[in-house]
Amino acid sequence: MALQLLTSFLPLLLLLCFTNLTMAAYSILSFGAKPDGWMDSAPALLAAWGKACGDNKPATLVVPKGYFLVSRALFQGPCKNNIRLLIHGTIVGDSAYSAASEWITFKYVEGLSLYSATFDARGQSLWSCKAAKRSCPTGSTALTISQSKNVTLSGVTVKNSENFQIAIMFSQGVRVEGATVTAPVDSPNTDGIHVHMSSLVSITNSTIRTGDDCISLGTGVTNISVQDIRCGPGHGISIGSLGGSPGDTIVQNVTVSSVILTGTQNGLRIKTWANPYDGFVSGIIFRHAIMNNVQNPIIIDQNYCPGNANCPNQSSGIKISGVQFDDVKGSSATAVAVKLDCSRSNPCSGIEFTSINLSYNGNKRRMAESFCRNVEGSSSGLVNPPSCL
């Protein structure tokens, strides 16, 4: 009899145990959000975040299907637990621009996982303002991870940001996987993913089509992995620009591998201003890259000085060393497929080429060329165009 009672209550006992172990779930609909794309859901979204962040056990914040207008949102920690944010619908920005520098921001959070989200910043009105050369604000970054640790962005779509699409700043242990980032080719300053003053960041299996760099790495980045990226249109994958203002610049231990660039302005690039400010770039590996009609497949430019303002006749103080280009192949849209234009006061050193095969996609009678200035290094295996190292 006792065994029969235990057997009959066993499913209920298991359910109670499972319920205690599962995450608490908070839907923004319970806090007044409306999936109509018109009412501002920022207050509801932040109220739900406050509940999830204050829960003593891991929590899930849910945004169901539909269009949710969010004027601006700052999700701030620290939280008492790890939070999983499931966004099945689309978060849309206000079509009118403002002076805000960020739209959706996660700050001081740890252990955040963001899944399946779609963010449409609707930056078209600001782009039009800039195109008309009116007095316009710089624009907002669509999605910012700031001063945070152990953050995962999985399957996230970000599009039409006014300025940078995704920014990772002053953070450690951030993973971006399966992202889709898009903006028109003529949209200004819409870098796909920008990393600044951060370490242990990985960006994998992502597609980026935008009006500026697909991925840009700024100063203070260390231990960065970029892998399996499809880039284009855009300005390519860039380290820099660096040295535009005083202060030590440090970029080290960066690996970029298994990338495909199509119709981009640049391929694999390191760019520094022609300013005397100190810094160094070292321990960089570019490996397994395919170029499809890319204007500058391999480029190091240490004489960046747009408009010849504030830096003519100066020399970059940033030392570039220990850079490997391995297995880079495909086609160049310009005759100079490899350009290494380094600082006259701090020449590049330890530049290594292995298995490079780039052809010129223009005049069939003209071969692809290399250009080197103030650079020391070596090459091995097939290197086409012939190395000038």
DSSP letters spanning 118-168:
EEE---HHHHHHHHTT-------EEEEEES-EEEEEES-EEE--SS-SEEE
Where helices occur in the chain by DSSP H, the ranges are 2-21, 42-54, 124-131
Work out the burial of residue 151: count CB atoms within 10 Å of its CB; fewer than 13 is exposed, 13-18 middle, 19 or more buried: buried
Q: Give the CA angle between residues 229, 233, 235 to the nearest 5°.
A: 85
Q: Give me 310's structure tokens.
A: 């504030």
Q: CA gyration radius for the chain?
A: 24
End-to-end CA distance of the chain: 87
State the Cα–Cα distance between residues 1 and 6, nearest whole angstrom: 9
State the Cα–Cα distance between residues 379 and 235, nearest whole angstrom: 26
Name the β-bridge partners of 223: none
Q: Is 88 a catalytic residue?
A: no
Nearest in space to 296 (alpha carbons), one of 355, 377, 213: 213
Catalytic residue among 88, 196, 235, 288: 235
Q: Give me 150's structure tokens.
A: 């152990």
**How many residues are listed for the chain in this entry?**
389
Q: CB–CB of 121/79 below 8 Å?
A: no
User: Any idea which residues carry the catalytic annotation?
Assistant: 235
